[in-house]
Amino acid sequence: MNDKVTKTQSLPSGQSPKLVLVTGPSGGGRTTSINALEDMGFETIINMPLRYISRLLKDDPPHSHTALGLDIRNRDFSIDGVLDILSDLQQTTDLHPELVFVECSPEVLLRRYSETRRRHPMAEDDSPDVGISAEIEMLKPLRERADIVIDTTEYSPHDLKDVLNRWYGDQAGLPLALSVQSFSYKRGIPPGMDMVFDCRFLRNPHWSPDLRDKTGKDRSVEAYIDQDPLFSNYFRKIYGILQMMLPAVKKEGRAHMTIGVGCTGGKHRSVAMAEKLGRTLELDDLQVSIRHRELERRATAAGHLK
């Protein structure tokens, strides 16, 4: 049995544990999702035989948030078996299990299998596309039953983790967590943005031969953009809007907010703006992470979801 269990600390008194079942087609992002939930403090169990799950959760009710990874590689996996577990737990326990279905387009699934050269579990002796089609068709009832469906077609592992954190991140008592992300409009606005600011009207370092090969993290590029007469006023207005909003967002009970900053190529202006905005927000004792989608894609072109 190829199951993996990770133990975590118990929850504070009075806080109800969450139970999340994660499934979806092979290669869609199930393992990445489980790892992300583990990082959030969930106890994670992967590939436990279905027949043991209800018994385990009834005989030893979880005292911490728990996530179970289920897919066709489970020893006794079946669609009816998963649906029966959900129904049984809802009717006979105080748990309220949620089913998360993580998928992506067949084309991307095929590309992931081609790049990793792995065999598809439903087509051991055939082309992966045969197994992909069969698995997608078989899993349709679970997709229809799912409480949350996440399409990872355009996601990096970081993107998927951010989405799961928005649903399941347990941040009670912690500062509002902000994610400031630069991106290229050529590749589209990243999913999950709460606010987006456009930097395409600012002077572009791309047209400076000395700066073209550098990024917005370089001081010379930042200084070049700072010299644009529009930059200073634009930055102050963005920061002013956030200063006004963030206390109200926190009061509303939000734990996480994502701010996007875009330019044409996602290499110079948006990167410089995201860096400066993130550093400034950190001075307000906020929990800030800064990401640069296009720079990450160049640096980790081989980063695949599993």
| Per-residue pLDDT tens over the stretch 40-59 | 889 999 988 998 998 888 88
Distance CA(120)–CA(39), nearest Å, equals 28
**Residue 26 reports pLDDT greater than 90:** no
Residues in a beta bridge with 198: 262
Distance CA(76)–CA(53), nearest Å, equals 11
Distance CA(31)–CA(45), nearest Å, equals 11
Domains plus CATH for the chain? 4-168 (3.40.50.300), 177-299 (no CATH)
Alpha-carbon dihedral of residues 291, 294, 296, 298, nearest 10 degrees? -170
Q: Read off the pTM.
A: 0.59
pLDDT in tens, 237-293: 999 999 999 988 877 766 678 899 999 999 999 999 999 999 999 998 888 889 998
Q: Which residues have a Cβ under 8 Å from the Cβ of 171 and sit 6 or more positions away?
A: 177, 255, 256
Contact 71, 77 (CB under 8 A): yes
pLDDT category of residue 7 using cuts at 50, 70 and 90: very low
Distance CA(150)–CA(145), nearest Å, equals 13
Distance CA(75)–CA(296), nearest Å, equals 37
Contact 291, 138 (CB under 8 A): no
Lookup: tokens for 145: 């039953």
**Residue 212 reports pLDDT greater than 80:** yes
Instruction: Kindly report each contact of residues 247-250 with a partner whose C-beta sits within 8 Å and lies 24 or more positions away, as own/partner.
Output: 249/176, 250/175, 250/176
Crossing angle of helices 50-59 and 79-92, in 10° steps, is 10
Check residues 230 and 112 and name the one with the higher pLDDT.
230
Residues in a beta bridge with 179: 258, 289
Q: What is the pLDDT of residue 3?
A: 45
From edge to edge, which strands make up the β-sheet containing 4-6? 4-6, 43-46, 66-69, 19-23, 98-103, 148-151
Alpha-carbon dihedral of residues 83, 143, 121, 65, nearest 10 degrees? -60
